[in-house]
Structure 1
Amino acid sequence: MSDAPTSRLEGLHKMTPAERLQAVARQTNLGNEAVSDLVSAAEGRIELADRLVENAISVMSIPVGIATNMIVDGRDVLVPMATEESSVIAAVCNAAKRCRGTGGFVTSSSGPVMAAQVQLLGGGDPNNVRLKVYERINEIRAICDEVDPLLVKVGGGFRDVDVRVVDTAEGPMTIVHIIVDTRDAMGANAVNSMAEALAPKLSEWTGARSLLRILTNLADRRVVRARAVWPLEEIGGQEVRDNMLSAYHFADADPYRAATHNKGIMNGVSAVVLATGNDTRAIEAGAHAFASRDGRYRSMSRWERDPAGNLVGSLEMPMAVGLVGGATKVHPTARANLAVLGVSSADELARIIVSIGLAQNFAAMRALATTGIQKGHMALHAQNVALVVGAVGDEVDKVASELKALGKVRQDLAEEILARIRADNS
């Protein structure tokens, strides 16, 4: 009989988290220290984790920091950001401070509208199927609104239907989009349930076979826009401004640069989305798809020089976030972070998130156009390296300071510095 570890752990889902952890430890020869770390990390929170995900064994914490200096639509706001990456929060604070004099960030939005798709196959001429669907719009409205009467009661519900004929490798398909106002919910459960309820009726009316019934994360009807002006003196002069514009034009023209440029934007966006218990994967998928809407992958942001010579940045992207449902109401840290933000609607939260993304983009471009991204990033990373090699207390700052002075943030150097510090103190 083989003693090789197996991933076939029958009945794991029926065990308690503690029993699961022991089962995993046995299969992976996990040491006592690692088991202890997993137990400690989940202390007081394992029951919640067990309700949120399947086969829970522990909890992994992400640091939550506060972005300061943000003014969004005339309101000063402190913004919680959940991220493990050094320099992200500091960059937002710096960028926001530099545009406070011009009023900070001004936003607009298209409202909390989501769409779900129902895929129809066959049924004859797809354009004929398309028209048959449009003829049933009143019945479609009734079916969708009956699924979620509470949503209708608070002012949301079915708004419209959009039917497209999509050419594919197996021939044309008729794709029905149901358009729904989801109010303060992200809306996935609501629109998915409506699509499920509607699909059999669409088949009955059109003679086509319904297959996929699910929301689209390309939430291009739920778009938020943020704009800000950075005065020339806050940027560092004309040369820095022009270098930043060149960096933007590079990103807008080249998908290799755009991928990293847009990742910088998402550093800020995803940190706030995560901190508030929203779906980071949905937001990221929608954002990158939206950046490709012109047929090629481009910069999510837009930058220009205004008549006074200042730098003007804008960011427009889908932002399907909510204040009700999911982890936003269940997770205590998410609830606390929303309380810090002081937002009263999902739309207000979305506007703040996109503003953070624009601030992050400004900071990254300015760093690249001046000292380079590594100087600031590695200065903060030096502390992480000091922790990795085992520095504690004031040793962390001492090791980090020497690494920064050397201009080389490497683990081997940190180990040598720490050993010398401890030898000097012995």
Structure 2
Amino acid sequence: MQESTSSSRISSFYKLEHQQRLEKIAEFLGESNFSQDHFLNTGNTEFQTVDNMIENAIGTMNIPIGVATNMIIDGKDRLIPMATEESSVVAAVCNAARQCRATGGFYTHTSEHIMIGQIQLIDVINPMITKQVILENEHDIKAICNDVDPLLVKLGGGFKGLEVRVLDDGHEYNIIVHILVDTCDAMGANAVNSMVEALSPALEGWTSAKANMRILSNLADKRLSMARATWPTDEIGGEAVRDAMLSAFRFADTDPYRAATHNKGIMNGISAVILATGNDTRAIEAGAHAYACKTGQYRSLSSWGVDKDGNLCGSLELPMAVGLIGGATKVHPTAQQNLEILNIDSADELARITCAVGLAQNFAAMKALVTTGIQKGHMSLHAKNIAVMAGAKAHEVDKVTELLVQSGKVRIDVAQEILATLRHKSG
């Protein structure tokens, strides 16, 4: 690739038409493999929709969507759309769900839809007096917040409570005001952020302090989702497998290095459902990992044990701030279709389903790790990607994949050798 001598300073790039933006990029790159035609094809989403969702849009990045089968959640069979590029994730959920169908599948629970908005007050003269002054004005605070979104209040949501915390940051005392907001079927970021911004001038007037930061918290620990399931011992390979999985859980719960990967496995499933439905993957992931530190040490989000019959029982609890209205959930046509597949009527249902998927993913990962190892199943599925990367055509992919798995060496150089051999024999 020839190095560009162009400037990245492109005035009013956002005002250009789709083709014009791509031409500007091609001009900037000079000689390269950049394909304007590739980005002109935005698949099943019109470019105007894409352009309305982000600034300076040039195209789309298609992520595969698979459907997890076998899921029973709260007595109802479900098909779960999952958007992910990782080959083994969907299969893992299907297998985990199949193995607990005999015990009724997954049972779930959610708390209220309460989100937290934070206002940081600095230049505080007397923190304890300031705290009390704020609490004394809760009635007016409620009125200010609810005036921001009357429709939310009409739907049963809006301001539900007030918390005031005193923090010593080592430099000065901060007063942290929390407004607790029921966001109903919305994730709630826009409503909460608007409320804390509207409230800040009044707080400054009552306290003579300065409102510095005003923003929603993604540690939504008042909006929790829980899921549990039981796997019969004979379904998972016997007591030895069960005990090995319990040992694996204890390892994750006591060692942050293991817990990070353990919880990443949980989020493989959760983030795939969140992305498929147009919700905010970054918010869910941030909240989950922060919640994993609630005891002061980063630990497992899930918990595992046995029941009176010796069967393996798992549970998962984490913040789940999801919505069915607003943002990409309401705008993106594929997100809308995925919600149709889920056949749900509320954000509460989506939170329950997503949590159950996270538990299924966790079960599958732990079982694989203590039995065949994570690579056997993962690499078997990954082999197809390697075959395509090696240049296999549609009619060659399955054979190259099969031979790759048999070789035990799922690498692109091995795939190229296999492909060359196959073509030589057929040629």
**What is the TM-score with the length of structure 2 in the denominator?**
0.97
Question: Does the 8 A contact of 1:116 with 1:177 survive in 2?
Answer: yes
Q: Distance in 1 between matches of 2:18 and 2:171?
A: 46
Q: How many residues matched?
A: 425
1:271 — aligned with what? 272
1:353 — aligned with what? 354
Cα shift at 1:39: 2.2
2:391 — aligned with what? 390
Cα shift at 1:34: 2.7
- CA change 1:33–1:41 in 2 (3 A) is farther
1:191 — aligned with what? 192
Cα shift at 1:154: 0.7
Cα shift at 1:125: 1.3
Question: Which residue identity does 1:270 align to in structure 2?
Answer: S
Question: Does the 8 A contact of 2:42 with 2:59 survive in 1?
Answer: yes
Pair 1:149-2:150 in alignment: yes
Question: Which residue identity does 1:224 align to in structure 2?
Answer: S
Cα shift at 1:119: 0.5
Bigger drift between 17-26 and 140-149 goes to 17-26
Q: Distance in 2 between matches of 1:40 and 1:421?
A: 34
Q: Distance in 2 between matches of 1:144 and 1:246?
A: 48
Pair 1:342-2:343 in alignment: yes
Cα shift at 1:30: 5.7
Deviations 1:252-289 (A, max 9, x none): 11111111100000000000000000000000000000
Pair 1:37-2:38 in alignment: yes
Q: Distance in 2 between matches of 1:417 and 1:290?
A: 47
Q: Distance in 2 between matches of 1:395 and 1:225?
A: 45
- CA change 1:44–1:217 in 2 (3 A) is closer
Cα shift at 1:157: 0.6
- CA change 1:410–1:235 in 2 (3 A) is same
Task: Give me the identity figure in percent.
Answer: 58
Q: Distance in 2 between matches of 1:365 and 1:32?
A: 42
Question: Does the 8 A contact of 2:124 with 2:175 survive in 1?
Answer: no
Pair 1:288-2:301 in alignment: no
Q: Distance in 1 between matches of 2:418 and 2:115?
A: 55
Question: Does the 8 A contact of 2:226 with 2:355 survive in 1?
Answer: yes
Cα shift at 1:214: 0.4
Pair 1:161-2:162 in alignment: yes
Cα shift at 1:422: 1.7
1:135 — aligned with what? 136
Cα shift at 1:42: 5.0
Bigger drift between 131-140 and 24-33 goes to 24-33
Cα shift at 1:44: 5.4
- CA change 1:353–1:30 in 2 (3 A) is farther
1:331 — aligned with what? 332
Question: Does the 8 A contact of 1:42 with 1:58 survive in 2?
Answer: no
1:54 — aligned with what? 55
Cα shift at 1:43: 7.1
Deviations 1:306-344 (A, max 9, x none): 221101100000000000011111100000000110111
Question: Does the 8 A contact of 1:42 with 1:60 survive in 2?
Answer: no
Pair 1:28-2:29 in alignment: yes
Q: The residue matched to 1:347 in structure 2 has which SS?
A: helix
Cα shift at 1:32: 5.8
Cα shift at 1:109: 1.1
Question: Does the 8 A contact of 2:279 with 2:322 survive in 1?
Answer: yes
Cα shift at 1:41: 4.4
Q: The residue matched to 2:14 in structure 1 has which SS?
A: helix
1:75 — aligned with what? 76
Q: Distance in 1 between matches of 2:304 and 2:55?
A: 44
Question: Does the 8 A contact of 1:66 with 1:89 survive in 2?
Answer: yes
Cα shift at 1:31: 3.9
Q: Distance in 1 between matches of 2:34 and 2:134?
A: 61
Question: Does the 8 A contact of 1:302 with 1:313 survive in 2?
Answer: yes
Q: Distance in 2 between matches of 1:268 and 1:277?
A: 15
Q: Distance in 1 between matches of 2:335 and 2:354?
A: 15
1:4 — aligned with what? 5
Cα shift at 1:132: 0.7
Cα shift at 1:14: 1.3
Question: Does the 8 A contact of 2:45 with 2:332 survive in 1?
Answer: no
Deviations 1:208-236 (A, max 9, x none): 11111100000000001101011101111
Cα shift at 1:3: 6.2
Pair 1:312-2:313 in alignment: yes
Cα shift at 1:192: 0.4
2:112 — aligned with what? 111
**What is the TM-score with the length of structure 1 in the denominator?**
0.98
Question: Which residue identity does 2:371 align to in structure 1?
Answer: T
2:124 — aligned with what? 123
Q: The residue matched to 1:133 in structure 2 has which SS?
A: helix
- CA change 1:30–1:103 in 2 (3 A) is farther
Q: Distance in 2 between matches of 1:215 and 1:193?
A: 9
1:87 — aligned with what? 88
Deviations 1:371-421 (A, max 9, x none): 000000000000000111121122001111111000010000111111121
Q: The residue matched to 1:186 in structure 2 has which SS?
A: coil
Q: Distance in 2 between matches of 1:200 and 1:287?
A: 32
2:15 — aligned with what? 14
Q: The residue matched to 1:264 in structure 2 has which SS?
A: helix
Q: Distance in 2 between matches of 1:28 and 1:355?
A: 46
2:212 — aligned with what? 211
Structure 1: give runs of 5+ residues left out of the alignment. Answer: none
Q: Distance in 1 between matches of 2:343 and 2:410?
A: 39
Question: Does the 8 A contact of 2:158 with 2:182 survive in 1?
Answer: yes
Question: Does the 8 A contact of 1:82 with 1:271 survive in 2?
Answer: yes
Q: The residue matched to 1:179 in structure 2 has which SS?
A: strand
Q: Distance in 2 between matches of 1:24 and 1:127?
A: 56
Q: Distance in 1 between matches of 2:241 and 2:124?
A: 60
Question: Which residue identity does 2:290 align to in structure 1?
Answer: A
Bigger drift between 146-155 and 22-31 goes to 22-31
Deviations 1:34-72 (A, max 9, x none): 332222345752221111011111111001110011111
Q: The residue matched to 1:9 in structure 2 has which SS?
A: coil
Question: Which residue identity does 1:407 align to in structure 2?
Answer: G
Question: Which residue identity does 1:304 align to in structure 2?
Answer: G
